[in-house]
Each structure stands twice: as structure tokens, then as C-alpha cells.
Structure 1
Amino acid sequence: MSPWAGLLCTAAKVNLLVLLVAVVFSWSSLSDRVPEFALTKIEESDIKDDSGNEPVTEDDADPEDLEVFYPTHQWQTLRPGQAVPAGSHVRLNLQTGEREAKLPDSEDGHTGQGSRRKRLGKVDVDANSFTSQELKEALAKMKASEKAERKAQEEEVRKKFRPIEQLKEEFEKLNMKMETDYEIMVKLISKFNSSASTLDEKVAALYDLEYYVHQVDNAKDFLSMGGLRLMIEGLNSTEAALKEHAAFVLGAALSSNPKVQIEAIEGGALQKLLVILATEQPLAVRKKALFALSSMLRHFPYAQQQFLKLGGLQVLRSLFRQRGMETLHVRVVTLLYDLIMEKMLLEGSQHGEQMAEKLQQYRQVRLVPAVLEQDWCAVPPTLLAMPEHDTREKVLKLVGVLMAFCREHYRGDPALGTALGLLRSEYEELAAQEQREGDKDGYFGELLGSINTIIQELG
């Protein structure tokens, strides 16, 4: 071999040795790094945690634990359906195509030994590390607590209420029976008409009857069983309490019930009521008698005609001349206003054959001429001095409806002009206050409008 050939052989060997050393060094360097995306599959059996123990693998895990992922500080494969705790690091292994997760490293280099803990029921559970057994125990304690609380609530309900079976037994023992209104009224009338009943028992029976006869059908039944006749006879009682409550029941039965109204006027109730109002009677008795009279006259032109023939308007006018009857004055003014407006509204409305017949009946009621004849124009102005706003409202309404007939009388009454002036000043202030409070169409504004209208018509 030539010297040059030996030299070349030696150089080739040196180059091969250098290349081999470089490859080994490069491989060693790569094996010490943790790549961002793993290109090789790392066997789970080769991974150990910080304590040196092998983590639980999928094959060793309890089947109930597969739904919960237990992260460590080493990458582990995630099974489908497993939930990852918040804050865990997740990556995709490009070599295997599987998702992997692990616990995040703390900023200070520690591995989260002081992890946050939560309360589940009455058991402390680590938010990042818990077992299926711990969850079962916590759930069992929660169920036991809920069961105990529910049982306590049931016991509390049992203390407050009795079982339906017990109630049924008690009702059967009492032999309770639901009575109809008809049956109740029969018993009440019987008690009132019985000579064995005391005065208090009769008054109590009348008081209860008034409640039932407010209903139209009950009032008709009351008529058929003879109750109306007994109430009319009760108006003649020497006992003021019986007279008062008999008139009260009568007025309730008469309200908006034409059949009872006809039977009552044919039974002489109108005359008896006028006698009570015209004679010395307690104020309470007169109140109930006026209530019954008003119920009979409203929407019943025949009764209004008979009322005028019997001098009923004079009887009501006489109440204004008696002391102690002030509380009845407003009731009388209201009744008079209603009767006048009732006729005026019917005359101004369109009506068929039936209403034409009723209008003919109203035309026979000469109410306004009787009002002028008996000097009712002088009555309303004296009532405007009363302090109640409701009373003033009703008086102003009557003054307004009588204006067409009493204008000359009102113009010559200086007391009326003075009263209207004082009321206007008072209600201007009250209406202004309503408007400041946002009520543009308030009650006091309406009263002020009525006063201004009357003053304008008198001017």
C-alpha cells in the first residue's frame, strides 16, 4: 500500500468517528427536551408523578371513575366524555391523535399542593383531586339531610292541618247539611213570626234576612213565602227596633225588583212608610223608612204618581223644618235629584214601543210643578254650607238640574251667591293642588266646574 492510500484511509476513519459522535450527542440532547407537540408515543407505564408512584391507568381505574378525569403533573390521555377540571393544560398528541391533559405548573415552581378546596354538602372536597367514593359519601349525606328536612316539614304540616279522613268523620258526627237560601229564609221568617222568640232573636232574624233578600231571586222567593206581608205588618210594630229592621228588609227586597215593588204598593207599604216619616219617630227608624221609600219610588212611575197624590213631597219637605233631621236632608236631596233626572233621561233617549209606554207613565208624574209649588228652590242653597264634599256635590247637582225652573229664585237669593263665591275660592285652591300632583281631571276640579257653570248661568 502506498503512503497516500494509508493516509486517506486514516482520514476517512477519523471523519466517520466524528460524525458518529455528533449524531450521538444530538440524540442525547433531543431526548432531554420536552417538545411542545409530542411526536412520539410515551408509554404510561414509564410516567411517574412527583412522588415516584405510577398514575392510575385506564385499565386499572374503577369503571365508575372513568367519568371523572384525575389530572396529575404528567400528560395523560383523555377518554371520550371525561370532563377536564378548570385550569388544566390540554394538548393534542400529533403522533397518536389523542387529547392529553395535565395539571398546570404553578408560577413559583410548586405543584399546587395548596389547591383551592370547596364544600360539598358537609364534606370537604378538593376541587382538583377527589375520588368517586368521596362523591358518593357527600351525595349520601346530602340526601340524608334533605330527607330529614322534608320529614320535619311534613311533621309541621301535620301539626297545622288534619287529614281529610278525620275531617270527614267529624262532619259525619256533626251531621252537617248544606242549606239553600230558600231554606234559610224559611227558618228566619219562622223565627221572626214566632211568639216564642225574644225581641233580640227577632231583630237578629231580620238582620240576616236583609242580607239574603238583596238578591232578586231570593226577594221573589221571599215574596212567595209571605215574608213581604210580614215586613209591611212589622212597620206598625210598637217596638222601634222591629219597625226599623222591618223597613230595612223591605227596602232591600224592593231595590230594582219590579215584581216586589208592585206587591208592596198594593199591600199598603207606601202609606205606612209616609206615616213613619211624618210622625215622631227615632232617627234610626226614619232613616230605614226613607231607604225603603227610595227603593220603592226609583224606576217605578206608578209609585211616584201615588207618592205625589198621598202628599209624599210635602212630608219630605217638612223634614227640613225639624231639628235633628240634618242627616236625612242629603238623602232627600239625592232622591229628588234621581227622580227628576230619571224622567229627563228617558224623555231624551230613543225608545221603542215598550219604553214609549213607560214614558207615557212618567208624563203623568207631575213632579217638577209640585217642586215649584212647595218652594223646593229654597232648600238646596242652605245645604251648601255643610263641610262634607260629598254633600256639596249632591246639592250642586240638584241646583244644576233645578236651574231651568228656579233661575229667578236663585238670582234673587244673596246667600246662594255668597256661598258659591266661597266654594269657588276653596275649590280653585284644591283643584290647583290636584293639578300640581298630576291629576288633571280630579274630583275637586269637577266640583269647581259645576260651581263655575252655575255662576255663569246666574250671571
Structure 2
Amino acid sequence: MCAVESVGEPGKPAINVSTYSGADNLSKPNTQSARHFRSYDELKKDFQKINVNIKTDPEIINEIMTEMKQNNSSDERLAIILEDLSYYLHQIDNARIFSKNGFETLLQLLHHPSYEVKKASLKAIGAATQGNSEVKVVALQSGLVDQLHSFLKACINGQDSLEFSTLLSGVVSTLSALLRDFPYAQKQFFSTSGISPSGFELLAQLSRRNASKGIQGLRVRILTLLTYLYSERLDAQKDFEEGPTKTKMDVWNMYASIPFEESFLMYGFCETLHISLLQDVQRGNEYNDLSAPVNHDIREKVITACLKFFNVCGWESSNFSNKQHILNLLDSIIDEYKLRSESDTDDINSYFTDMLLKVQRFRNMLKPYELPRTDL
């Protein structure tokens, strides 16, 4: 496991308690006496008198953790309380409190026989780590990278089903929550000298599974994760080059220690990207029919990945047949988004206008590799 800089344990976060004015003083014109601050204990006692039990988020989280540790809840009940836990862990302070002694229980539940419990556990871990640097460190030290790697490795030869595909997507989402903006964890996951297979090889194997509808979604999710991480890498490099400092150098050195571009090429992700573009992205609607269902989200993610990795992948080496299919695909999408942007009442930054510009940009980048037309 790679070295991790220690992060001091934060102090107990203050509990935000709403401020109430004393009800007895509401009828009095003196505003100073009306602005009376009640303590949490006073409010709690008052509410208990009228059978209203108020609890802070940490109290609720502790109750959930206690019930989980008792091991006497049904699978259905366990999945429900894990969903509740996910809701509270989206709050940064709640996640920090939970991380002090909660990760061990959640990691154990990743091996639970129930599909719903495993899915809910992954969701809770993702909620706790998303955008929370202190919790990410705790998660890394708790062995989360190894756990997620083992989970994915065990799934390589798993049966293809909707449940299985959904669970795999959940693992990739949780992995994304941990790895993003955390180069320490990225280095451990993608290391070629640590866990085996390396993260790149593992994700490549998963993205090439039998292309059912569920696995196609997984392929797009994996490409999206790699796009985010590559963007981070480029941003860190640019930040260091524009204003080099010791801190920026340390950050960039951490990213630079991962052979990202080389591994992307070595494990065939450029080919995976081409396949995803041809198989996962819908053609533009024909006959100007804008009512037909379209998955714009997949279009956006795959084309964004194509733009980000354009200089990494050699588009000029694509065989002409695939290249022509891609050009025809982009032309059809451009025609569709021209219609959608014209009918959109929003301003110039509307979604369909942005998508039109993005697809046109990609199409223009491919022009040098387009074979000239021949007149018959």
C-alpha cells in the first residue's frame, strides 16, 4: 500500500441546532426579550413533554450502526437502513463522524449474500467518500482499494444478468468516488507492482465482457471514470507548469508516477472507446423526429471521452470502414442537435446547443483523417 500523509483527527463538529424564540415572550413587544436562545437540552426536554423525539444526525447514524452490528436484522431491513445511512453520509461532517468506526462494518457487508445489501453498502461507502478528503484517507487506510479490487476481480467471469451488471456499476461508482481527486488511491489501484491485475488491466477486462445492455452501460461508466482521472492529471500538470511550487510539484509528481497514457494504450482502451462510440451512442433521429427516445447522457459521456483522449488515441490508424461509420454517426447527431437547439427556448448555453458544439468540434478534429471524395 502506498504511503499516505497522515491527517489529524478533526475535532467533534458542532451540531447545528435551530434557534427558537421563547413562546412565552411572543406577545410581548420587547424584541430583546423575545430573542431568547434555547439550548439543545432545553428544546429536547420541551419536545419530549409533547411526545416529539428530536435527534441529531450523529445520534441517528449511531443508532443505525448499532442496529447493523447486532446482526439480527432481516436482509430487507438491513438494505433499508443502509439506504437511510447513505442519505446522512452525503453531509461532510456526518461522514467524518461515521468514518471513525463505521468503515469496518460496511466493508464486511460487501461480502453479504444478499444482492440488495451489497448494493446498498456500496452506495453508502460512495456517499461517505464523495468529495470528502478526510474520509477518503480513512477509507484508504481501511483497505477499501483492495476490497473494491477484489470485488471487481471476482466479477470478471460472473454470470451476465441485470442484477450482476447493476452491482458491477455500483462498484465502479464507489471506486470513482474514492479515486477522484485522490492521487494516493489512484497510485495504489493502478500500480503494476502492487495488486494484481493492475487497475487498468482489470477495468479493461471488465469493459470487454459480453456486450449485453447492462455491460454496455458499465463500459461507458468505466470510460467516464478514466476521463475524469485523466482530466485531473492534465489539470495538475498545467497547474504546476503555470506556477511551480513545492506543493504543486508534489501533487504533479504523484500523478506523473502513474503511466496513464501508456497504460490506456497498452490495455486497448482506444479500441474500447471506438467500439463504445459505434455501439453505445445512438445515431441522430431520422426524419426530423425529435420525439423518439434518446440517451443524451451516454452520447455526452462517450463523445467527451473521445475529445479528451483524442491526442492519446491514433484516430488516423482506424480502418476506413469504422472511420466512415463514425463520421456518418457524427453527421447524423449534428443534424439532430441543430434541430433541437433551434427549438430550444433557453439561452446560448442550453444543453442541446452545448452538445451541438461538442459534436461539431469532434467532427472537425476528424476532418484531416477523412478520405477525399471521388467523383464517379
TM-score normalized by the length of structure 1: 0.59
Classify 1:355/1:283 alpha carbon distance in 2 versus 1 (closer, same or farther; 3 Å).
same
Q: Give CA-to-partner distance per residue, 1:108-142, whole Å, 9 cap, x none.
A: xxxxxxxxxxxxxxxxxxxxxxxxxxxxxxxxxxx
How far did residue 173 of structure 1 move?
5.7
Q: Secondary structure at the match of 2:205?
A: helix
Residues 109-258 of structure 1: pairs in structure 2 closer than 5 A: 174-224=50-100, 226-258=101-133
More moved, 181-190 vs 263-272: 263-272
Q: Secondary structure at the match of 1:348?
A: helix
In the alignment, is the contact (CA less than 8 A) between 2:303 and 2:359 conserved in 1? no
- Structure 1 counterpart of 2:186: 304
In the alignment, is the contact (CA less than 8 A) between 1:231 and 1:250 conserved in 2? yes
Classify 1:340/1:180 alpha carbon distance in 2 versus 1 (closer, same or farther; 3 Å).
same
2:260 equivalent to 1:367: yes
Classify 1:375/1:205 alpha carbon distance in 2 versus 1 (closer, same or farther; 3 Å).
same
In the alignment, is the contact (CA less than 8 A) between 2:307 and 2:362 conserved in 1? no
In the alignment, is the contact (CA less than 8 A) between 1:305 and 1:364 conserved in 2? yes
1:283 aligned residue (142, 153, 165)? 165
In the alignment, is the contact (CA less than 8 A) between 2:61 and 2:88 conserved in 1? yes
How far did residue 184 of structure 1 move?
0.3
In the alignment, is the contact (CA less than 8 A) between 2:190 and 2:199 conserved in 1? yes
Q: Distance in 1 between matches of 2:129 and 2:276?
A: 29
Classify 1:207/1:419 alpha carbon distance in 2 versus 1 (closer, same or farther; 3 Å).
same
- Structure 2 counterpart of 1:30: none
How far did residue 444 of structure 1 move?
4.1
Classify 1:293/1:433 alpha carbon distance in 2 versus 1 (closer, same or farther; 3 Å).
closer
How far did residue 285 of structure 1 move?
2.0
Classify 1:437/1:183 alpha carbon distance in 2 versus 1 (closer, same or farther; 3 Å).
closer
In the alignment, is the contact (CA less than 8 A) between 2:122 and 2:174 conserved in 1? yes
- Structure 1 counterpart of 2:224: 334
In the alignment, is the contact (CA less than 8 A) between 2:334 and 2:360 conserved in 1? no
Classify 1:195/1:432 alpha carbon distance in 2 versus 1 (closer, same or farther; 3 Å).
closer
Q: Across the two proteins, how many residue pairs are aligned to each other?
A: 291
How far did residue 413 of structure 1 move?
5.4
Q: Distance in 2 between matches of 1:371 and 1:213?
A: 33
1:379 aligned residue (272, 288, 295)? 272
How far did residue 429 of structure 1 move?
4.7
2:315 equivalent to 1:395: no
Tell me the C-alpha RMSD between the 2 structures: 2.5
TM-score normalized by the length of structure 2: 0.71
In the alignment, is the contact (CA less than 8 A) between 1:192 and 1:201 conserved in 2? no
Gap runs ≥5 in structure 1 = 1-169
Q: Distance in 2 between matches of 1:266 and 1:185?
A: 22
In the alignment, is the contact (CA less than 8 A) between 2:330 and 2:363 conserved in 1? no
- Structure 2 counterpart of 1:272: 147
How far did residue 358 of structure 1 move?
1.1
Q: Secondary structure at the match of 2:72?
A: coil
Q: Secondary structure at the match of 1:403?
A: coil
Q: Distance in 2 between matches of 1:411 and 1:375?
A: 13
Q: Distance in 2 between matches of 1:171 and 1:296?
A: 40
How far did residue 175 of structure 1 move?
2.5
Read off the aligned partner of 2:176 and give its amino acid letter: S
- Structure 2 counterpart of 1:450: 361
Tell me the percent identity: 25
In the alignment, is the contact (CA less than 8 A) between 1:251 and 1:296 conserved in 2? yes
Q: Secondary structure at the match of 1:195?
A: coil
Gap runs ≥5 in structure 2 = 1-45, 283-294, 371-376
In the alignment, is the contact (CA less than 8 A) between 1:203 and 1:241 conserved in 2? yes
Q: Give CA-to-partner distance per residue, 1:51-95, whole Å, 9 cap, x none.
A: xxxxxxxxxxxxxxxxxxxxxxxxxxxxxxxxxxxxxxxxxxxxx
Classify 1:370/1:203 alpha carbon distance in 2 versus 1 (closer, same or farther; 3 Å).
same
Q: Give CA-to-partner distance per residue, 1:233-267, whole Å, 9 cap, x none.
A: 21122222222111111111111112221221222
Q: Distance in 2 between matches of 1:343 and 1:408?
A: 22
Q: Distance in 2 between matches of 1:409 and 1:370?
A: 20
Read off the aligned partner of 2:127 and give its amino acid letter: A
Q: Secondary structure at the match of 2:311?
A: helix
